[in-house]
Chains A and B, each alone.
Chain A
């Protein structure tokens, strides 16, 4: 469990506090999406949880570990982090080297590394690119390597800071379905900071941040169907909900209870079939 309690945080060069008395809980083995406009504090929150910023003492714990300087090393054993821009996190000369880098830092025995690297690259379907250099890869492919690097360290908590925002739809779909199956089989807690409605829809819970406050913590379904909330926090709705709204605007009375693509397809087919 990740617990944030009465967190107040101000960036050194700014006057106004970004967070004031922020409290929230992220349960174990769940996928929690954090959404909000740029500047809402979502990336800062993720960095505070990971101890990448000076986290105020006594405000955040990760699986019982206080996030402070004394516990940073233990904390980083628990956490994997994937950032938005793939070019800023590729450090190896090749794909395999890049994944090995994290393992070396963790002092994993060299003879164990090839197996771990193979498995991590297979998880993100990058095995054929093992020997590729970063300049031969697309942004999406580099991002999958970054994900492999994080997974190789077997974290308890994986934090994704807009990690799929630069992938093409196919790459994004692959990464998301792999994350979903990882979460199901394993012990992984996923925190994903995102604008992507498809990524939000896969989560167990959504935390909506607005001006440093939790505006809502709820199921993806309830957040995504709240049009006013979705617009206020700069999200877009998934395709099925946008189509539903467009149909309603055209005078087609789609029932309010329909919220998923499957339900909308089924309802439309009933209507199309009874028409003739």
Chain B
């Protein structure tokens, strides 16, 4: 079993007296993997991420992030080390760019955590390079860059703080297909470098292609924890929570063949299985 980066145990959160956003949630986020977090508005996924980042404290139960346990009784100042471990990239993070230059914007995070200008600059340069932004852009205003580049600058601002866990909220929203593909391959590289990633997404194609494991929330409760293949093999569960399976799954259902195992989730794996079946027999020109 993979060591958990985050462990939620009997976790509950209520706004006010009895508006429960999360109830009795117990699951783990495996270290070094990409976990897809799925749920509609009001499912509790944002609340869960805010609890993971120490922006909220539990009403009941515990959150344990890299060994640090957080409960209703945790003091605000004890949350500072947690914030260093968790990097939260909000939706449309480029809306929060503000500085005169790309470099200054990315340096802001490490400086805010107490780094001196020299080490903040080193961290910022390293993060920008990691995200494939050429040095020629460092002194430019972030507002002169393309949408895809701005998004990467915003992501660099979080990476420069050297988090162990990265939370991405709909990271490809609003990008064109080229920008989306670039960002997704960067996310895959970050995982390969050892980061634990939680990605909030509505895009089941991304879940099928990138996620090692999936958690589905609905109405403040955990309704699924398992692999993408397990999730997409359960049409009733998907329908009950208004989730659309990836195109490969929907397509494969229309074919007269025995259900393949493992179930193909992408065009490439579906084509490989079909080719095997078609070429395995006779009568196929």
Q: Which of A18-26, A99-107, A151-159, A233-241 contacts B (4 or more CB under 8 A)?
A: A233-241
Query: Is A186 located at the chain interface by the 8 A CB criterion?
Result: no
Name the A residues within 8 Å of B42 (CB-CB). Answer: 136
B268 within 8 A of A: yes
The answer to whether A242 touches B267, judged by C-beta atoms less than 8 angstroms apart, is yes
Which A-chain residue is minimally distant from B242 (CB atoms)? A170
Task: Tell me if B118 is interfacial: C-beta within 8 Å of chain A.
Answer: no
Contact A252/B275 with A139-B173, A234-B177 known, Cβ cut-off 8 Å: yes
How many angstroms between the C-alpha atoms of A246 and B277 in the bound complex? 15
A138 and B41 form a contact (CB under 8 A):
yes
Q: Is B234 an interface residue (CB 8 A)?
A: no
Q: Does A218 contact B (CB under 8 A)?
A: no
Asked if residues A37 and B176 are in contact (CB atoms below 8 Å), the reply is: yes
A221: shortest Cβ distance to chain B, in Å? 18
- Cα–Cα, bound, A272→B248 (Å): 17
| B-chain residues with CB within 8 Å of residue A53 when the two chains form the complex | none
Contact with B along A232-276 (1 / 0, CB 8 A): 001110011011001101111100000001000100110111111
Residues in B with CB closer than 8 Å to A252 are 271, 274-275, 278-279
Q: Does B178 contact A (CB under 8 A)?
A: yes
Contact in complex: B281, A173 (CB < 8 Å): no
Nearest opposing residue in chain B for A162, CB measure: B174
Given that A137-B41, A138-B41, A276-B281 are known contacts, is A249 also in contact with B174, CB under 8 Å in the complex?
Answer: no
Q: Which residues does chain A contribute within 8 Å of B280, judged by CB atoms?
A: 275
Q: Which residue of B lies closest to A275 (CB)?
A: B281
Contacts A85-B174, A253-B285, A272-B278 given: A265-B251 contact, CB under 8 Å?
A: yes
Q: B233 near A: Cβ within 8 Å?
A: no
Does B272 touch A at the CB level, under 8 Å? yes
Residues in B with CB closer than 8 Å to A268 are: 255, 274
> Is B277 touching A243 in the complex (CB atoms < 8 A)?
no
Q: Which B195-222 residues sit within 8 Å CB-CB of chain A?
A: 202-204
For residue A196, give the distance in angstroms from its CB to the closest CB of chain B.
Answer: 9
Query: How far, in whole Å, are A25 and B244 apart by their CA atoms in the complex?
Result: 37
Which residue of chain A has its CB nearest to the CB of B244?
Answer: A169
Q: Are B248 and A195 in touch, CB under 8 angstroms?
A: no
Q: Which residue of the partner chain, among A240, A247, A275, contacts B275 with CB atoms under 8 Å?
A: A247
- Which residues in chain A, 101-127, are within 8 Å of chain B measured between CB atoms? none
List the A residue with the shortest CB-CB distance to B280. A275
* Contact of A271 with B177 at beta-carbon distance under 8 Å, contacts A137-B41, A138-B41, A265-B255 already known: no
B254 interfacial contact with A, CB 8 Å: yes
Is B236 among interface residues, defined by CB-CB distance under 8 A? no
Q: What is the interface size of chain B, counting residues whose CB is below 8 A from a CB of the partner?
A: 44
CB <8 Å contact, A141 and B41:
yes
Contact of B256 among A39, A250, A272 (CB under 8 A): A272
Q: Chain B 244-279 against A: per-residue CB contact (8 Å), 1 yes, 0 no?
A: 100110010011110000000001101110110111
Shortest Cβ distance from residue A273 to the other chain B in the assembled complex, whole angstroms: 6
A177 within 8 A of B: no
Contact with A along B74-93 (1 / 0, CB 8 A): 00000000000000000110
Contact present for B174 and A166 (CB under 8 Å): yes
Q: Is B284 an interface residue (CB 8 A)?
A: yes
- The residues of A that contact B277 with a CB separation of less than 8 Å are 272, 275
Are A247 and B282 interface neighbours, CB within 8 A?
no
Residue A38 lies at the interface, judged by CB distance under 8 Å to chain B: yes
Report B198 CB to chain A, min CB distance, Å. Answer: 18
Instruction: Tell me the smallest distance from the CB of A178 to a CB of chain B, in Å.
Output: 17
Does any Cβ of A come within 8 Å of B23's Cβ?
no
A239 in contact with B41 (CB, 8 Å): no
Contacts of A274 in B (CB 8 A): 283-284
Q: How far is the CA of A138 from the CA of B148 in the complex (A)?
A: 22
CB pair A235–B177 under 8 Å, yes or no, is yes
Q: Which residues of A lie under 8 Å from residue B285 when comparing CB positions?
A: 253
Residues of B near A195 (CB, < 8 A) are 176-177
Option from B173, B178, B202, B255 in Cβ contact (under 8 Å) with A169: B202
The B160-188 residues at the A interface (CB cut-off 8 A) are: 170, 173-174, 176-179
From B91, B92, B282, A275 is in contact (CB under 8 Å) with B282
Decide yes or no whether A168 CB sits under 8 A from chain B.
Answer: yes
The 8 Å CB contact of B178, one of A37, A138, A265, is: A37
Complex alpha-carbon distance, A173 and B204, angstroms: 14
**Bound: A243/B264 CA distance, A:** 12
User: In the assembled complex, how far is the CB of residue A239 from the closest CB belonging to chain B, in whole angstroms?
Assistant: 4
Whether B275 pairs with A265 at a CB distance below 8 angstroms is no
The 9 closest A-B pairs by CB, nearest first: A168-B202, A246-B271, A250-B275, A239-B247, A275-B281, A138-B41, A169-B244, A242-B267, A243-B267
Q: List 14 A-B contacts (CB under 8 A).
A: A137-B41, A138-B41, A139-B91, A170-B242, A239-B248, A242-B267, A250-B274, A251-B275, A252-B274, A252-B278, A268-B255, A268-B274, A271-B278, A275-B281
Please name 11 further chain A to chain B contacts, defined as beta carbons within 8 Å, in addition to the given A250-B274, A275-B278, A275-B282, sorted by A numbering: A38-B148, A38-B179, A141-B41, A168-B203, A169-B204, A170-B243, A242-B267, A243-B271, A246-B271, A249-B271, A275-B280
B-contacting residues of A (Cβ < 8 Å)?
37-39, 84-85, 136-141, 162, 165-170, 173, 195, 234-236, 239-240, 242-243, 246-247, 249-253, 261, 265, 268-269, 271-276
